[in-house]
């Protein structure tokens, strides 16, 4: 049985002060009826503050980051290393988000290096994959997403794969209010799991959690989570509002 995993990706929102204020509200109403694993991925500048709040108040929430560089230290102005994240008790790191691919030109090869660096430093990657609208409309979405997996997982050892989360985020559904239908999302998640079984084996494929991301809201989470191969959600906009995120966790 895969434990449901709901993660909030705050993107470039929330100063560390706003983050602390968010938790003042969130922690009093925190409830987790479905016993999900819950994580927040704040921007780098708020990670320490969020970590201090969740440790201090003993809230059962995991810390994640939204990106990192693949080198451990050195002359890489502006970058943040896996060692730095680990020192802040970060457990998860989102890698290959479509905004990083599209705006910052990250390639599958870079993401592959980052996944290796995450595992070398005992961080658990949340690997994002997903197609553009033109690709979906041309009927080639599955080939495209499975190709991303081939490249991003190149030479990743089987012993680590059970610690990987994959987030299927169709780019046309991010921040647009358009969600993939739950059947389309589930079909892609199934195809991803089958690919993992081909690349590794059935046992490992059954362990990996696959999230859906793209306009997840309180009104659509229940239907998504009822699907066979959707094990959680990577939530953008709705994770910035305590009430909405709580409703999503307690779908
Ligand atoms: P929205 O939930 O705002 O569509 O963002 C999804 C996303 O990109 C999460 O990583």
Which domains does the chain possess?
Answer: 5-249 (3.20.20.70)
Low-confidence stretches of the chain (pLDDT beneath 50):
none
User: Are residues 61 and 76 in contact, defined by beta-carbon separation less than 8 angstroms?
Assistant: no
* CB-based contact 216:177 (threshold 8 Å): no
Q: What is the pLDDT of residues 118-142, one digit of tens each?
A: 999 999 999 999 999 999 999 999 9
CA 169 – CA 102 distance, rounded (Å): 13
Spell out the alpha helix ranges (H) of 12-169: 16-29, 44-56, 82-87, 98-103, 108-120, 133-137, 141-152, 158-161
- The H-or-E segment that residue 243 falls in is helix 242-249
Q: Please enumerate in sequence order all residues whose Cβ is within 8 A of that of 70, keeping only pairs 6 or more positions apart, or say none.
A: 82, 110, 113, 114, 116, 117
Q: What is the pLDDT of residue 146?
A: 98
Ligand 1 atom nearest residue 214's Cα: 4
Q: Is the CB of 53 under 6 A from ligand 1?
A: no
Mutate to test the pocket of ligand 1, among 7, 66, 165, 215 (most ligand atoms within 8 A of CB): 215
- pLDDT tens for residues 73-109? 999 999 999 999 999 999 999 999 999 999 999 999 9
Residue nearest to atom 5 of ligand 1 (CA): 236
Q: Is the CB of 156 under 6 A from ligand 1?
A: no
**Any catalytic annotation for residue 102?**
no
Active site residue 97: yes
Q: Is the CB of 235 under 6 A from ligand 1?
A: yes
Question: Would you state the pLDDT for residue 142?
Answer: 98
């Amino acid at each position: 049985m895969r434990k449901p995993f709901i993660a909030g990706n705050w993107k470039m929102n929330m100063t560390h002060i706003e983050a602390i204020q968010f938790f003042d509200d969130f922690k009093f109403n925190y409830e987790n009826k479905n016993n999900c694993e819950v994580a927040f991925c704040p921007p780098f500048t708020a990670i320490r503050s969020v970590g201090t709040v969740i440790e201090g108040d003993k809230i059962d929430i995991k810390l994640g980051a939204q990106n990192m560089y693949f080198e451990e230290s050195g002359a890489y102005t502006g970058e943040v290393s896996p060692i730095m994240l680990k020192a802040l008790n970060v457990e998860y790191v989102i890698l290959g988000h479509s905004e990083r691919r599209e705006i910052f030109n990250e390639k599958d090869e870079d993401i592959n290096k980052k996944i290796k660096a995450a595992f070398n430093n005992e961080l658990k990657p949340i690997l994002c994959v997903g197609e553009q609208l033109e690709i979906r409309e041309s009927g080639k979405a599955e080939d495209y997403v499975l190709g991303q997996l081939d490249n991003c997982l190149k030479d990743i050892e089987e012993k680590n794969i059970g610690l990987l989360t994959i987030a299927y985020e169709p780019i046309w559904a991010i921040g647009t209010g358009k969600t993939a239908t739950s059947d389309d999302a589930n079909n892609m998640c199934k195809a991803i799991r089958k690919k993992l079984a081909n690349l590794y084996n059935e046992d490992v494929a059954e362990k990996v959690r696959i999230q859906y991301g793209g306009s997840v809201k309180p009104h659509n989470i229940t239907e998504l989570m009822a699907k066979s191969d959707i094990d959680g959600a990577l939530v953008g906009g709705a994770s910035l509002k305590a009430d909405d995120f709580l409703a999503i966790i307690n779908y």
